[in-house]
Structure 1
Amino acid sequence: MSEIYNVYCDESCHLENDGEKAMVLGGVWCPESKRKEISQRVRDIKVKHGLGKSFEIKWTKVSQSKLAFYMEIIDYFFDDDDFHFRGLIVPDKAQLNHETWGQTHDDWYYKMYFTMLKVIFEPQARYRVYLDIKDTQGADKIKKLHEVLCHNSYDFSRRMIERVQQIHSHESEQLQVADLLIGALSYLHRDLSTNAAKLKLIERIKQRSQYRLTCNTLLRENKFNLLIWSGGAL
């Protein structure tokens, strides 16, 4: 029987006219069989640092007082061989020219999501994709994203990509870790530097990944995989 993987996706600064320079799409993934174990380990780290099991990990909450906690979450991610990350960074949205390619920002957004996810997918496995609930337009977005992913993967029977659905981030430790990693990449690529704890966390990610976070990794990089998108027909 083929392995089932859960993929937990989030995004930062993805709107066309939000005034932010860089956009990041990303996701963590793990075997479905390891989901509960990973969730429990993250909850254990929360309790160890005096936080409740229901404390929600968020990049926006990173501060000096909680730095040791967030450092341990990053270390746990890199130490667990069943836990993986893929991120796609658009360094400067001002360079986008949708008119030239005959597409809307939404069309491009879905193509970027497929570009981000396609290196995760293996034809012999099955995938369940979960996205953070953001707004009331979510149901339509989820339906469209499922169609785009299946169409571009030639998975017309939806055997490989079993489902694409929304969940609340407070319900999923994996989604919270995705938020943390995506937030770090977004902070770095927007050239922000006012929060010393966030800068230290970014340095820890650089150390543990052994990447500068400003260049592409190898396509086959399995632990911390990055694509710095440089434009083209997409």
Structure 2
Amino acid sequence: MRVPAKPDDIIEIYADESSQNKHRYLALGAIVVSMLDTPDLIEAIKKARLPELPQGEAKWAKVSKAKLAAYKRMVDVVFDNQDKWHFHSLFVDTTRQNHKKYNNGDSEIGFNKELYQLANKIGQLYSKAYFHIYPDYRDTKSSPEELRQILCHGARKRGDTRDWPVRRCQFRDSKNTIPLQVADILIGAIAYQLNGHDKAADANPAKVDLAKYIMKRAGIANITNGTKREANFSVWPRKLRK
């Protein structure tokens, strides 16, 4: 019988994606936080939103000049507490994806593989933890339970001795899940720069400002180069097979 994981051994992963359609680069990212620290993270972000964002969903698509200060304070919560809360991400060049050859012609399978890669990387970085994974809700034929089982079987094949390291995988609605909102903002900034939107003639000045601010706080000079794999704020340029 599976032994229940202790609360202080459980890490929560709040995963989101950006630019899945119509853009060259697909980016996925996740806020990673100990389950015991999640309430503190939520309260800190709620305070950081005030007074410009007292209610409603905070997300990259809604970044504006009037609310820019609040968005910067929200990401500051993560950067100022990297002993507790981390962010991990990856991006892929969709022009190099070969869905016909590797994904049975289904782009959704390709997307699920990238979510698997991100979760698998996090599972290896936190090698003694157990995980609750909360992807942002999306309309898909695949169930989160399938991802949970695939991740656990993959860990076992690698020789991982943890008993079913992923204990929970459930969709969450970002409208009601604050860590997902922060993940959306961070991954939105990464995709914004990767896809060159910050260089467009009609670029949103507030988004350009926020993207630069996030990269500066992360210590990233060129987003296309990525970061060290184990960095508390990590960006992984995934190389795909032809």
TM-score by length of 2: 0.84
Could you list the runs of 5+ residues in structure 2 that have no partner in the other structure? 1-5
Could you list the runs of 5+ residues in structure 1 that have no partner in the other structure? none
Partner of 1:199: 208
1:8 lines up with 2:9 in the alignment = no
CA deviations 1:136-155 (Å, max 9, x no partner) are x36x3313222222222227
Partner of 2:22: 19
How far apart are 1:77 and its partner, in Å?
A: 1.3
How far apart are 1:100 and its partner, in Å?
A: 3.7
Of 113, 120, 126, 2:115 maps to 113
- Matched residues in 1 for 2:154 and 2:48: separation? 39
Say if 1:7 and 1:29, in contact at 8 Å, map to a contact too.
Answer: yes
Q: Which moved more, 1:32-41 or 1:123-132?
A: 123-132
Say if 2:152 and 2:164, in contact at 8 Å, map to a contact too.
Answer: no
Partner of 1:125: 129
Say if 1:123 and 1:160, in contact at 8 Å, map to a contact too.
Answer: no
TM-score by length of 1: 0.87
CA-atom RMSD in angstroms: 2.1
Say if 1:46 and 1:55, in contact at 8 Å, map to a contact too.
Answer: no
- Matched residues in 2 for 1:75 and 1:102: separation? 38
The one-letter amino acid of 2:146's match is: K
CA deviations 1:212-234 (Å, max 9, x no partner) are 3221211221x11111112127x
- Matched residues in 1 for 2:177 and 2:161: separation? 29
Distance 1:206 1:74, change over 3 A: same
How far apart are 1:200 and its partner, in Å?
A: 0.8
Q: How many residues align?
A: 224
Say if 1:5 and 1:128, in contact at 8 Å, map to a contact too.
Answer: yes
How far apart are 1:71 and its partner, in Å?
A: 1.2
Partner of 2:3: none
Partner of 2:229: 219
- Matched residues in 1 for 2:191 and 2:112: separation? 19
Correspondences of 1:83-232 after superposition (within 5 Å): 83-90=85-92, 92-101=93-102, 103=104, 104-121=106-123, 122-135=126-139, 137=140, 140-154=142-156, 159-193=164-198, 194-211=203-220, 212-221=222-231, 223-232=232-241
> Helix, strand or coil for the counterpart of 1:185?
helix
How far apart are 1:157 and its partner, in Å?
A: 8.5
- Matched residues in 2 for 1:157 and 1:123: separation? 9
- Matched residues in 2 for 1:157 and 1:37: separation? 28
CA deviations 1:30-63 (Å, max 9, x no partner) are 000011111001111123x2432x4321001101
> Helix, strand or coil for the counterpart of 1:89?
strand
